[in-house]
Amino acid sequence: MGNRYFEVLERASSFLEKQGKEGYSILFVFLERKGWTKTDWLLHLKEEMPLTDEQQINEDLKRLADNYPPQYLLGYSDFYEQRFLVNEHTLIPRPETEELVDRCLKENPNQQLTVVDVGTGTGAIALSLKLARPNWQVTAIDISEEALKVAKQNAQQLEAEVEFIHGDGLKPIQDKKIDILISNPPYIGEAEWALMDESVRTFEPKSALFADNDGLAIYQQLAQEAKQTLNPDGKIYLEIGFQQGEAVKHLFQQVFPKKQVQVAQDLSGNDRMVIVSSKKEEG
């Protein structure tokens, strides 16, 4: 008699934990590959596992033990209730970035607005915004041609009409006026490199993670470029590193002295967003 599902997965999971890895990740990958819910899992766990499943698990286990991210193994990641293709040329979309999208949608109605997402990666921000606000004219820019290939595939799959441009920051659209700039730019400085998970350091694209000047270089660039392109009552939504709130706020307040610049926290209570809104509000 062969091994039962739960025995194989239990062994795989404790193998990962002994190596200091996340034990659950193998079950997550397994369920995703099978298209099973937790309920399906409970129904099948005492059944005998086919050899093909066991071979797949052993293969996945080797990669996970090497810190290979589960999302890259599967080739997709879920973000804001949609599924996005991912590969090693794109950052894996994070839950914190969903909060940035959520904030932008809550504060802006479905009217004719020109919106630009800088450093789009998989297209997660731009496409989520377009799907929720069909009247917005959304442009997504990335410096990586490989990332843009993935973003365009995602746009096709999700049937969202977004314009993709290869370029650096807001440079490609300097003659245009925009209502909203949104960005999750590279913001990790050299000092934070050691704090990153090994899977991030080894496999996710460095150009999407790191920036000079303690991680502030792209914010400095965007602040200057936005000065030219942002409409007078335009808004900016930025994701930031948890230690960068005050620095990024100060930077944008200097460039936009008449606007309100605020630091907002994510659900874990960490500084995670800087929002530049149309005017300074009282109180």
Same domain, 55 and 89: no
Same domain, 61 and 88: no
Looking at the structure, tell me whether residues 246 and 186 fall in a common domain.
yes
Tell me the backbone φ, ψ of residue 258, rounded to 5 degrees.
Answer: -90, -5
Q: What is the mean pLDDT of residues 88-93?
A: 95
**Rg from Cα positions in the chain:** 21
Whether 259 contacts 232, CB under 8 Å: no
Calculated CA dihedral for residues 99, 101, 189, 213, nearest 10 degrees: -130
Are 194 and 128 part of one and the same domain?
yes
**Digit-coded pLDDT (tens) for 162-190:** 999 999 999 999 999 999 999 999 888 87
142 is known to lie in a ligand binding site: yes
Do the annotations mark residue 184 as ligand-binding? yes
pTM of the model: 0.93
**Is 92 inside any structural domain?**
yes
User: Both 198 and 257 in a single domain?
Assistant: yes
87 marked ligand binding residue: no
Question: So what's the pLDDT on residue 280?
Answer: 57
Q: pLDDT band at 273, cuts 50/70/90?
A: very high
35 annotated binding-site participant: no
Sign of CA dihedral 200, 206, 207, 213: positive
| Distance (Å, whole) CA 87 – CA 151 | 11
The helix (H) or strand (E) run that includes residue 217 is helix 217-229
* 69 annotated as a binding-site residue: no
Q: What is the pLDDT of residues 126-164, one digit of tens each?
A: 999 999 999 999 999 999 999 999 999 999 999 999 999
282 falls within a domain = no
Annotation-wise, does 229 bind a ligand? no
Q: Residue 185 annotated as binding?
A: yes
Q: How many domains does the chain have?
A: 2
Kindly state whether residues 159 and 261 are assigned to the same domain: yes
Look up the domain containing 171 and give its range. Answer: 78-277
186 is in an annotated binding site: yes
- Kindly report the CATH number assigned to the domain that includes residue 270: 3.40.50.150
Name the strands in the sheet holding 230-239, side by side, starting at the edge strand that comes first in the sequence.
163-166, 137-142, 114-118, 178-183, 230-239, 271-277, 260-265
Question: Does 86 lie in the same domain as 25?
Answer: no
Read off the tokens for 190. 């050299």
